[in-house]
Structure 1
């Protein structure tokens, strides 16, 4: 059993509401679909996966499933994922963190806390990931949640051209 399956099965999805308005019992299958994207997944544009309007509402509001997804995503990122699956997974973490850091409700706090528990997964993606897009999503997530700005600046300088030009010169 993969680590992400362990994390996925820890969540009582049936007791949560999905972004589509239904019971979230169907969400594990959709999450597995994300993690199994192959190299033929085209477009290069994040957030076009089967998770649209499931991890968040159509108005990009956070839900308990948003917070539950983050540790599952981190567990998947520690394993073998295709570049498109990694990129999409990191994109979803960033998409969840955007509204989470701008809010102070209990779900937002849960999302940020869950994301902070896996800082090293994000750092590893910046330094050793498969793509510039994945490194960018991971670094942007770190910019939102990392409290140690000295470490973040050091990683920014060390990562160099693994990051897109705008993130290399971003003032932290």
Structure 2
């Protein structure tokens, strides 16, 4: 290792937060799969600052999901980090968050992502299409949520997701 490489490695180690025992390996792998610093966030900065928010969401903090608004989506528009964030959210969903409040916040966020304007053309998957493809992988889990918690907020969000995806509940 050269002298100029040492400070860069040290800086990378400092900016990489300690791994949480609450974040499943599959979710951590999905977080690391994306080059967050290379994406422009909806707030205009590098999306690297979103890593902490998606880790907080993976740990089960319901407010972390709402904190993605303005960065990953805003109103009816998706922002460039939306597919990466959606991949992490679906990894969280697949890991099966145990708390009802976490599942509800996660499903609200997925529904918000699906309720945006489709920005893809006839021969491409824009940000919306990429997010929908990630979300579609959780169809069976959404059906289970709807069946096991009828009348709950989570079930209502799951039903909305299934409806937008055009799959039967």
Residue in structure 2 matched with residue 27 of structure 1 by the alignment:
50
In structure 1, the gaps of 5 or more residues are 156-172
Structure 2: how far apart are the matches of 1:48 and 1:14? 20
Do residues 80 (structure 1) and 97 (structure 2) align?
A: yes
Please state if 1:104 is matched with 2:124.
no
Instruction: Determine the C-alpha separation between the residues in 1 that align with 2:163 and 2:71.
Output: 25
Which residues in structure 2 correspond to 1:20-99 (within 5 Å)?
Answer: 20-37=43-60, 49-57=66-74, 59-77=75-93, 78-99=95-116
Q: What's the CA shift for 1:34?
A: 2.6
Note closer, same or farther for the CA distance 1:121–1:16 as it changes in structure 2 (3 Å cut).
farther
RMSD, aligned α-carbons: 2.7
TM-score by length of 2: 0.70
Where has structure 1 moved over 3 Å in runs of 4 or more? 35-38, 102-105, 128-131
Q: TM-score, normalized by length of structure 1?
A: 0.69
Query: Per-residue CA shift, 1:65-88, capped at 9, x if unaligned?
Result: 112222211221233342222111
Q: Is residue 56–residue 62 contact of structure 1 (8 Å, CA) maintained in 2?
A: yes
| 2:146 paired with 1:123 | no
Larger Rg: 2
What is the aligned residue count? 141
The secondary structure found in structure 1 opposite 2:115 is: helix
After TM superposition, give the deviation of residue 25 of structure 1 in Å.
0.5
C-alpha distance in structure 1 between counterparts of 2:85 and 2:145, whole Å: 18
Distance 1:130 1:91 in 2: 16
Q: Distance in 2 between matches of 1:120 and 1:65?
A: 25
Residues in 2 aligned to 1:48 and 1:114: alpha-carbon distance in whole angstroms: 17
Whether the 8 Å CA contact 1:34–1:50 is kept in 2: the answer is no
Counterparts of 2:97 and 2:120 in 1: how far apart (Å)? 34
1:143 shift after superposition = 0.2
